[in-house]
């Protein structure tokens, strides 16, 4: 099965919440870490507990590699082991690696993250060196059903430095990216009408939300920005299509939910946050 179909079906069954496992060692509750274990091993323990608690109410999981690279080899082992937990549980895993190189280098990135020890179902990519920075990944899309999410219009304030710049024909740079990736992605369509080449569309800028959703009907969206970055359910809902067609990431909001729920265990607090997030988005979608 193509991973984009697995993701669509997971969202249909469990909702659009994407749990961001951007786990810093400082996020672990006081007293949780075992002094006999490394930082990476303790992070894996924490991730496993969160995954166990939330797997029934999360459509997928996103693992941001930078948090693991920062710990060196210990962290990379934790990254690998976290992806293995997700694979063993048959949960959809997005590797947030944001690679953007070309030629043999891109081939090696694709091999590293779509096969072998760091294998994930999806990866995030930066397209600004051109479409040939994406083509090395298509082999794995064809042969293994993998998927990619390409940075298009992101959630950070700096998105307006480049992505919002106007072209001679009146389009924004993000329109150019979305148009070209959408066109390229038509060769990799899943059974539910979405391409294996999805788009990263930030949920914090809502002015053109309806236009973007209508324009890229065949593109599944990875939507960052909910919660800690300021994205609200009523904003996010505009990027979904009947509650699907996208997955909404929250990282710190879920990882640190226990800090806003005094007396509640961290894994239970994460579950509660996912349920609340899922409900809020569903309510907002119902009002559209």
Q: What is the pLDDT of residue 49?
A: 98
Q: What is the pLDDT of residue 207?
A: 76
8-17, 138-147, 209-218: which has the minimum mean pLDDT? 209-218
Complete DSSP assignment for 25-69 = GGGSPTTTS-TTS-HHHHHHHHHHHHHHHHTTT-SEEEEETHHHH
Residue predicted with more confidence, 204 or 20:
20
Q: What is the pLDDT of residue 123?
A: 98
Q: Average pLDDT of 116-136?
A: 97
Which is catalytic among the residues 89, 98, 146, 215? 98
Tokens encoding 172:
């924004």
Asked if 53 contacts 85 with a C-beta cutoff of 8 angstroms, the reply is no
Q: Average pLDDT of 13-27?
A: 98
Q: Among 59, 135, 127, which Cα is nearest to 93's? A: 59
Indicate if the pLDDT at residue 251 is higher than 80. yes
Angle at which helix 266-286 crosses helix 39-54, to 10 degrees, equals 50
Angle at which helix 39-54 crosses helix 72-88, to 10 degrees, equals 20
What are the phi and psi torsion angles at 243 (to 5°)?
Answer: 80, 0
Indicate if the pLDDT at residue 118 is higher than 80. yes
Band (pLDDT 50/70/90 cuts) for residue 226 is confident
Tokens encoding 231:
């994205």
Burial call 121-134: b when 16+ CB within 10 Å, e when fewer: bbbbbbbeeeeebb
Indicate if the pLDDT at residue 280 is higher than 70. yes
Q: What is the pLDDT of residue 229?
A: 64
Respond yes or no: is residue 98 known to be catalytic: yes
CB neighbour list of residue 145: distance below 8 Å, 6 or more residues apart: 1, 2, 3, 4, 196
Band (pLDDT 50/70/90 cuts) for residue 232 is confident
CA 81 to chain centre: 18
Q: What is the pLDDT of residue 228?
A: 61
What confidence tens digit (pLDDT) does each residue in 130-175 have? 999 999 999 999 999 999 999 999 988 899 999 999 999 999 999 9
What confidence tens digit (pLDDT) does each residue in 29-77 have? 999 999 999 999 999 999 999 999 999 999 999 999 999 999 999 999 9
């Amino acid at each position: 099965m193509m991973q984009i179909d697995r993701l669509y079906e997971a969202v249909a069954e469990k909702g659009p919440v994407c749990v961001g496992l951007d786990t810093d060692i400082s996020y672990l509750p006081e007293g949780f870490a075992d002094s006999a274990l490394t930082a990476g091993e303790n992070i894996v323990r924490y991730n496993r507990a969160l995954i166990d608690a939330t797997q029934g109410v999360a459509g997928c999981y996103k693992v941001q590699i930078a948090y693991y690279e920062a710990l060196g080899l210990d962290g990379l082992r934790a990254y690998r082991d976290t992806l293995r937990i997700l694979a063993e549980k048959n949960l959809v895993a997005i590797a947030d690696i944001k690679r953007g190189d070309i030629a043999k280098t891109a081939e090696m990135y694709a091999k590293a993250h779509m096969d072998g020890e760091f294998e994930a179902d999806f990866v995030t990519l930066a397209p600004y060196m051109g479409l040939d920075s994406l083509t090395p990944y298509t082999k794995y899309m064809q042969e293994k059903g993998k998927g990619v999410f390409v940075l298009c219009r992101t959630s950070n304030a700096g998105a307006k430095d480049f992505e919002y710049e106007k072209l001679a024909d009146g389009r924004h740079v993000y329109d150019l990216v979305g148009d070209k990736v959408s066109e390229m992605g038509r060769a990799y369509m899943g059974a539910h009408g979405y391409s294996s080449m999805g788009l990263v569309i930030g949920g914090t800028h809502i002015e053109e939300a309806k236009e973007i959703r209508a324009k890229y009907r065949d593109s599944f969206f990875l939507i960052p920005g909910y919660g800690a970055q300021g994205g609200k359910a009523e904003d996010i809902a505009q990027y979904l299509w009947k509650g699907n067609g996208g997955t909404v990431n929250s990282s710190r909001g879920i990882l640190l939910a226990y800090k806003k729920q005094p007396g509640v265990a961290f894994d239970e607090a994460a579950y509660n946050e996912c349920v609340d997030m899922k409900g809020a988005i569903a309510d907002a979608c119902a009002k559209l």
